[in-house]
Chain A
Amino acid sequence: MSQDTVISAKNLSLTFQTNDGPVNALKDVSLDINRGEFVSFIGPSGCGKTTFLRVMADLEKPTAGKVTVNGVSPEEARKNRAYGYVFQAAGLYPWRTIGGNIRLPLEIMGYDKAAQAERVKQVLELVELAGFEKKYPWQLSGGMQQRASIARALAFDADILLMDEPFGALDEIVRDHLNEQLLALWKKTNKTIGFVTHSIPEAVFLSTKIVVMSPRPGRISDVIDSPLPAERPLDIRDTKEFIELSHRVREGLRAGHEAE
Chain B
Amino acid sequence: MRGQATRMQKIALPLGFGLLVVLLWEAMVRGLDIPLAILPAPSEIADRFAASTGTLWIDFVQTVIKGALTGMLIGTLTGFAVALLIDRSDFLRRGLLPVASFMAALPIVGVAPIMVMWFGFDWHSKAAVVAVMVFFPMLVNTLAGLGATDLMQRDLMRTYSATHVQSLIKLRLPAAMPFIFNGLKIATTLALIGAIVAEYFGSPTRGMGFRISTEVGRLGIDMVWAEIVVSAISGTVLYGLVALVERWVTFWHPSQR
Residues in chain A within 8 A of chain B (CB atoms):
57-59, 78-79, 81, 83-85, 87-89, 91, 93-95, 104-105, 107-109, 136, 138
| B152 sits at the interface (CB 8 A) | yes
Cβ-defined contact, A87 with B156, below 8 A: yes
- Are B158 and A95 in contact (CB-based, < 8 A)? no
Q: Which 7 A-B pairs have the closest CB atoms?
A: A94-B252, A95-B252, A85-B159, A79-B161, A108-B160, A108-B162, A95-B174
Q: Name the B residues within 8 Å of A94 (CB-CB).
A: 252-253
Q: In the docked arrangement, what's the CA distance between A79 and B159, Å?
A: 8
Alpha-carbon distance between A95 and B157 when the two chains are bound, in angstroms: 16
Residues of chain B contacted by A136 (CB below 8 angstroms): 252
A-facing mask of B154-184, CB < 8 A → 1, else 0?
Answer: 0111111110001000110011010000000
Chain B residues with a Cβ closer than 8 Å to the other chain, count: 21
With A85-B156, A91-B156, A93-B174 already in contact, 15 other A-B pairs whose C-beta atoms are closer than 8 Å: A78-B158, A84-B159, A85-B155, A87-B152, A91-B153, A93-B153, A93-B170, A94-B252, A95-B177, A95-B250, A95-B251, A95-B252, A107-B170, A108-B157, A108-B170
Cβ–Cβ < 8 Å partners of B252 in chain A:
94-95, 136, 138
Contact of A87 among B155, B161, B251, B257 (CB under 8 A): B155
Interface of B is mostly: helix
> Bound state CA distance, A91 and B253, in angstroms?
14
Considering the complex, give the chain A residue whose CB is closest to the CB of B171: A93
User: With the chains together, A170 CA to B160 CA distance in Å?
Assistant: 26
Cβ contact within 8 Å between A59 and B155:
yes
The answer to whether B170 and A138 have CB atoms under 8 Å apart is no
A–B complex contacts, Cβ < 8 Å, 15 sampled: A57-B159, A78-B158, A78-B161, A79-B161, A81-B161, A84-B159, A85-B159, A91-B156, A93-B174, A94-B252, A95-B174, A95-B252, A107-B170, A108-B170, A109-B160
Residues of B at the A interface (CB closer than 8 Å) are: 152-153, 155-162, 166, 170-171, 174-175, 177, 250-253, 257
Nearest CB in chain B: distance from A232 CB, A:
29
Q: Which residue of A lies closest to B174 (CB)?
A: A95
Whether B166 and A108, one on each chain, are in contact in the complex, defined by CB atoms closer than 8 angstroms, is yes
Could you say which residues of chain A place their CB within 8 Å of the CB of B170? 93, 104, 107-108
In the complex, the chain B residue whose C-beta lies closest to that of A89 is B152
Give the docked Cα–Cα distance between A57 and B152 (Å).
Answer: 13
Residues of B within 8 A of A78 (CB): 158-159, 161
| B161: chain A residues within 8 A (beta carbon) | 78-79, 81
Q: For the complex, what is the distance from the CA of A132 to the CA of B162, rounded to whole Å? A: 26
Kindly state the separation between the CA atoms of A136 and B250 in the bound complex, as whole angstroms: 13
B160 contact set on A, CB distance < 8 A: 81, 104-105, 108-109
Contact A83-B159, Cβ < 8 Å, known A136-B252, A138-B252:
yes
CB distance from A67 to the nearest CB of B (A): 16
Report how far A81 CA is from B162 CA in the complex, Å.
Answer: 10
Chain B residues closer than 8 Å to A104, beta-carbon distance: 160, 170
In angstroms, Cα B254 to Cα A136, docked, is: 12
Q: With CB as the reference atom, state the residue of chain A lying closest to B153.
A: A91
